[in-house]
Amino acid sequence: MPAGVDNQEHIDAVIKSEKLGKRLCSRYSLALGLVACVLFMTYFTMTIQLGNNQADARQINISGMQRMLSQRIAMLALEVSNPLKSDDPLELSHKMQDAIELMQSNHKELIDHHTDSPMSPEIRELYYGADGVDKLVMAYTNIATRYLVTFRSHGSEAVMASPALTDIVEMANNVMLGPLNAVVYRYQEEAEQKVQRFKLLETVFLCLGLVTLTLELLFIFRPMARDIVSKTKSLEQSNAELIEFSYRISHDLRAPVVSSFGLAETAEKSIRQDDTRVAFTSLGYIKDAMIKLDALIDDIINLTRMKMSDLMFEEVDIEKSVSEALEKMKALQNYDKINIAVEIKGGQTIKTAKIYFQQSLENLISNAIKYADVETIEPKIEISITLADKKCKVLVTDNGLGIEEKFHPKLFKMFERFHTNVSFGSGLGLYLVKQNVGILDGKVHFVALDKGSEFGFEIPIKATS
């Protein structure tokens, strides 16, 4: 094989390995990216929900505090107007002032909260509807403030008879409590609804995570595992074949060389002794040995090319392929004694990897010619190629020597020869056919006939673009 071709095939093999590595890395990165997206979405949603829960809890606490402050203000107003001997009216008025200011600030906080988070229609109705909490709180705190102004100006006796005291107690007991309770309960109800929605969202994210993992398993990790297993099996098979190949090829390459050395010495001695008959006989044997060696080297080159080549699909003219194959076979012994018939049905062209198709076709025809039974009345070979159902079926039938049943399990294996006394060969022909057809996602075919054999293969036809 030329050095340039060898280097190019090595480069192609390296590129194929790099492509596989990049494909695995990209799939793994995609899987991690999808998991990271789901985790980020979950984290982001939970962070927002936790913030909402804290805000909701504070709203409930503050609205509950408003309910308590409405009662505390009324209680302090009564104590300011009629203090016990141990109580200081002025100190009680300060406590009442603090309660009023806290109620006003709480109310402002509750209103301001809905600037960023819009009120629900129910809450808006409770705050701004007829007799809404907003008006009630403003009115209640204003009355309580006027009450304190009167106390600070005229003392406890003045506020005891003040209508403001009656208004404060009346609002606290009969007006404020109901709406403030309604606000608390509504905040609690909406918070519980948000928690339920959050639980539903948690379930959705759980399902999304499970679906993502399932999709990753089906469309990312399973294809990755399939690629890895396929490559591992291919490497294991290649390693086993390499061991057998190395052993057999070292013997098959060495044998004709060693025999040629011995024959060359015999020829040399015969020439010195003027025994040209023995010399020419020895040279003839040397020539046969070199022919076998050349055929073996050709098969090794074809095997190497098959192992290293990329699939390149192209339009193949079937009739032309058969003609080219037969043209190559004309130099084979007994070719002119065999009647060869060709039948092509269903079409004239297919789209496939030409190098694999052509090599497989040539090997089957070559075997049929090599192992033809020239002693029979009419040696014949029938080549049938049928295109149907998006498949190409190739059959090569002969009435030759056939193959004994005990050898059938060894068909299509490396370095197996079944008629060593009839024809030469490396034993790689049928092995190459099976390997080529396997690469094309096809299957090989063999039937032992009463007289001869039927070999063939079937491959899918690629759609033309």
Residue range 235-258, pLDDT digits in tens? 777 677 666 666 555 656 666 777
Mean pLDDT across 58-76: 93
Instruction: Reply yes or no on whether the pLDDT at 263 is more than 90.
Output: no
Most confident option among 14-23, 83-92, 168-177, 198-207: 168-177
Tell me the pLDDT band of 422, cut-offs 50, 70 and 90: low
| Widest distance between CA atoms in the chain | 161
Q: Judge whether 179 and 133 are in contact, CB under 8 Å.
A: yes
For each of the domains in the chain, give its residue range(s) and CATH number, in order of start.
Answer: 3-222 (1.20.120.1730), 311-465 (3.30.565.10)
Most confident option among 227-241, 273-287, 386-400: 386-400
Most confident option among 89-93, 211-215, 230-234, 280-284: 89-93
Instruction: Reply yes or no on whether the pLDDT at 27 is more than 70.
Output: yes
Q: Residue 72: its pLDDT value, please?
A: 94
Q: Judge whether 341 and 382 are in contact, CB under 8 Å.
A: yes
Q: What is the pTM of this model?
A: 0.48
Instruction: Reply yes or no on whether the pLDDT at 2 is more than 80.
Output: no
Mean pLDDT across 390-397: 94
Exposure string for 139-171, b = 16+ CB within 10 A, e = fewer: ebbebbbebbebbeeeebeebeebebbebbeeb
Name the token pair of 156. 């406890």
Instruction: Reply yes or no on whether the pLDDT at 5 is more than 50.
Output: no
Instruction: Reply yes or no on whether the pLDDT at 185 is more than 50.
Output: yes
Instruction: Reply yes or no on whether the pLDDT at 56 is more than 60.
Output: yes
Instruction: Reply yes or no on whether the pLDDT at 443 is more than 60.
Output: yes
The C-alpha atoms of residue 62 and residue 84 are separated, in whole angstroms, by 31
Comparing C-alpha atoms, which of 291, 272, 270 is closest to residue 281?
Answer: 270
Contacts of 343 (CB under 8 A, 6+ apart): 382, 383, 384, 385
Q: Judge whether 24 and 227 are in contact, CB under 8 Å.
A: yes
User: Which range among 134-148, 248-262, 263-277 shows the weakest confidence by mean pLDDT?
Assistant: 248-262
User: Which range among 97-106, 108-117, 127-136 shows the weakest confidence by mean pLDDT?
Assistant: 108-117
Mean pLDDT across 78-84: 82
Angle between helices 121-128 and 177-216 (to 10 degrees): 160
Contacts of 94 (CB under 8 A, 6+ apart): none
The single-letter code of the amino acid at 116 is D
Q: Which is more confidently placed, 102 or 258?
A: 102
Instruction: Reply yes or no on whether the pLDDT at 76 is more than 50.
Output: yes
Instruction: Reply yes or no on whether the pLDDT at 288 is more than 80.
Output: no
The C-alpha atoms of residue 444 and residue 462 are separated, in whole angstroms, by 18
Instruction: Reply yes or no on whether the pLDDT at 458 is more than 80.
Output: yes
> Please, what is the average pLDDT of the chain?
83
Exposure string for 427-460, b = 16+ CB within 10 A, e = fewer: bbbbbbbbbbbeebebebbeeeeeebbbbbbbbe
Q: Residue 3: its pLDDT value, please?
A: 44
Comparing C-alpha atoms, which of 233, 235, 230 is closest to residue 24?
Answer: 230
Q: Residue 1: its pLDDT value, please?
A: 43
The C-alpha atoms of residue 301 and residue 43 are separated, in whole angstroms, by 60
Tell me the pLDDT band of 398, cut-offs 50, 70 and 90: very high
Tokens 């209640």 locate to 140
Instruction: Reply yes or no on whether the pLDDT at 308 is more than 70.
Output: no
pLDDT in tens, 356-386: 899 899 999 988 998 898 888 899 999 999 9
Q: Residue 248: its pLDDT value, please?
A: 57
The C-alpha atoms of residue 2 and residue 26 are separated, in whole angstroms, by 36
Instruction: Reply yes or no on whether the pLDDT at 78 is more than 70.
Output: yes
Tell me the pLDDT band of 157, cut-offs 50, 70 and 90: confident
Mean pLDDT across 301-320: 75
The C-alpha atoms of residue 267 and residue 282 are separated, in whole angstroms, by 6
